[in-house]
Amino acid sequence: MSSYWAAHAWLADGCRADVGFDVEEGRFARVQVGVEPRVGQEILRGVTLPGLANGHSHAFHRVLRARTQTGGGTFWTWREQMYAVATRLDPDSYFSLARAVFAEMARAGYTVVGEFHYLHHDPQGRPYADPNAMGKALIQAAKEAGVRLTLLDACYLSGGLAATGHLPLDPVQTRFSDGDVDHWQARVSLLNDSDQVRIGSAVHSVRAVPADALSKIGEAAGERPLHVHLSEQPAENAATQAFYGRTPAELLDDHGLLGRRTTVVHATHLTDTDIKTLGGTQTSACFCPTTERDLADGIGPARRLTDAGSTLTLGSDQQAVIDPFEELRGVELHERLVTGERGRFTPAELIKIASASGYRSLGWSDGGRIADGAPADFVVVRSDSMRTTGARPDQIAYAATAADVDQVVVAGKVIVRDGRHRLGSPAQLLSAALDHLGEA
């Protein structure tokens, strides 16, 4: 057992002072407020937050950070650059890259990652000897980095959608596809949950999965988390409307894919009816503000979705930025730009979006909270850095960055201490991984 005393900690009822708690077998025990530190307790200065969830990640996109910023373009031209990286990865290079990226995430305060995974096969589209070699590379990477992982294994069947229908796979996309839902399901069924790993499902998008396959994927997913990219770009809406006469959200609803187990990612360009449908079905929506601005996607209706009944979560997506505080602030600050109002979300709502809501959408329904019996995942933020000095403890997330994360604990195990990850420098790990890929 280990025992802690936190000067300030975020509990279910807000930010509280003088909080004592124990950790037993990887879970919180005896969380008490307004207590003095005891002999033998580790003192946590600053503000202790529940574990922070990265609800949407593509680890390998990290290669593109600050390498795609000249020459203009759109989401679609960026995607060409991303595909060029996708063709070069194999299980070894994928592992070393993902390990560095997950270590960077841990160092930034993320304790659980939802990896939306579609790089399944070799560059010619042939299964590796182990058909889950790429997924297992991600699982091993997360294990070494110390974060929980939900592997959202994506079904990807078509090369896109035009007004005339679904397009054949481009050669670069062949490694994403299992050919049909049965083969996808058979491969995914070989993967198993373990202590810090959950297996979930994903529909890449209504562009990459024809409507006649959607219900079957929904059935195969069962009660496990099911994630879908939705309406990130107006072109997806236009093509779906032209071919199916429906919006992407309507199409998912038609096939029974919406509901509490489901998270739609981005949800940027929605109709009023889409918002009502997503909220009414209690579908979660994962916003990725730093990606959505980097890729010129637009600003999604965060407050309106929440008011309609959806739960918001956050993701770093294409890794232009890995910083949970930047994502959390992005949701609120983008709303301010659009509405001309401050305080569209309360500090408590933003912390919940970043923690418990994200955990639940990744299949860890009791995580992301500091409470008796919950998994002992927490993040200590310094309140004495040049960014955070003077911040009120309950508002520190408006000032802090990933650089202010001092300690990170997952399942009771310390993975970051004094701002250092247990594997060493994530930058050095990444530099070695980029060398390996010939990207240095």
Q: Residue 291 Cβ, how far from Zn ion at the closest point, in Å?
A: 8
Identity of the residue, 250 or 317, whose beta carbon is nearer to Zn ion in the bound complex: 317
- The stretch among 163-171, 310-318, 335-343, 432-440 that binds Zn ion (CB under 5 A) is 310-318
- The letter for the amino acid at 35 is V
- The stretch among 102-110, 194-202, 248-256, 309-317 that binds Zn ion (CB under 5 A) is 309-317
Between CA 131 and CA 190 the distance in angstroms is: 9
Identity of the residue, 253 or 317, whose beta carbon is nearer to Zn ion in the bound complex: 317
Identity of the residue, 153 or 317, whose beta carbon is nearer to Zn ion in the bound complex: 317
Identity of the residue, 116 or 325, whose beta carbon is nearer to Zn ion in the bound complex: 116
Q: Residue 190 Cβ, how far from Zn ion at the closest point, in Å?
A: 24
Q: Residue 211 Cβ, how far from Zn ion at the closest point, in Å?
A: 20
Q: Residue 235 Cβ, how far from Zn ion at the closest point, in Å?
A: 16
Q: Residue 230 Cβ, how far from Zn ion at the closest point, in Å?
A: 10
Identity of the residue, 119 or 374, whose beta carbon is nearer to Zn ion in the bound complex: 119
Q: Residue 82 Cβ, how far from Zn ion at the closest point, in Å?
A: 10
Secondary structure (DSSP) of 321-379? ---HHHHHHHHHHHHHHHHS-S-SS-HHHHHHHHTHHHHHHTT-TT-SS-STTSB--EE
Q: Which residue is nearest to Zn ion (CB)?
A: 317
- The stretch among 40-48, 69-77, 144-152, 311-319 that binds Zn ion (CB under 5 A) is 311-319
Distances (CA, A) of 341 to 290, 336, 358: 20, 5, 25
Identity of the residue, 169 or 288, whose beta carbon is nearer to Zn ion in the bound complex: 288
- The stretch among 59-67, 141-149, 251-259, 315-323 that binds Zn ion (CB under 5 A) is 315-323
**First and final CA of the chain: distance in angstroms?**
43
Between CA 416 and CA 414 the distance in angstroms is: 6
CA dihedral 395, 396, 401, 403 (to 10 degrees): -170
Residues 6+ positions from 307 with CB-CB distance below 8 Å:
279
Identity of the residue, 19 or 267, whose beta carbon is nearer to Zn ion in the bound complex: 267
Site for Zn ion in 38-57 (CB under 5 A): none
Q: Residue 142 Cβ, how far from Zn ion at the closest point, in Å?
A: 17
- The stretch among 45-53, 316-324, 382-390, 419-427 that binds Zn ion (CB under 5 A) is 316-324
Identity of the residue, 236 or 317, whose beta carbon is nearer to Zn ion in the bound complex: 317
Measured at the CA of 58, the angle between CA 54 and CA 197, to 5 degrees, comes to 60
3-state per-residue secondary structure call for 192-235: CCECCEEEEEEECCCCCCCHHHHHHHHHHHCCCCEEEEECCCHH
Q: Residue 371, Cβ neighbours under 10 Å: how many?
A: 15
Identity of the residue, 56 or 334, whose beta carbon is nearer to Zn ion in the bound complex: 56
Instruction: Please count the residues of this chain forming the interface with Zn ion, following the rule CB under 5 A.
Output: 1
Q: Residue 334 Cβ, how far from Zn ion at the closest point, in Å?
A: 18
Identity of the residue, 294 or 317, whose beta carbon is nearer to Zn ion in the bound complex: 317
Between CA 153 and CA 119 the distance in angstroms is: 9
Residues 6+ positions from 136 with CB-CB distance below 8 Å:
91, 130, 191
Between CA 202 and CA 264 the distance in angstroms is: 10
Q: Is 415 helix (H, G, I), strand (E, B) or coil?
A: strand
Q: Residue 21 Cβ, how far from Zn ion at the closest point, in Å?
A: 35
- The stretch among 196-204, 293-301, 302-310, 313-321 that binds Zn ion (CB under 5 A) is 313-321
Q: Helices 426-437 and 91-108 meet at what angle, rounded to 10?
A: 160
Between CA 433 and CA 215 the distance in angstroms is: 39
Give the number of residues written for the chain. 440
Q: Residue 116 Cβ, how far from Zn ion at the closest point, in Å?
A: 5
Q: Residue 369 Cβ, how far from Zn ion at the closest point, in Å?
A: 26
Structure tokens at 261: 């187990």
Site for Zn ion in 317-336 (CB under 5 A): 317
Identity of the residue, 229 or 344, whose beta carbon is nearer to Zn ion in the bound complex: 229
Q: Residue 229 Cβ, how far from Zn ion at the closest point, in Å?
A: 5
Residue of 220, 215, 249, 218 lying closest to 232 (CA atoms): 249
Identity of the residue, 42 or 80, whose beta carbon is nearer to Zn ion in the bound complex: 80
Applying CB under 5 A, the residues found at the interface with Zn ion are 317
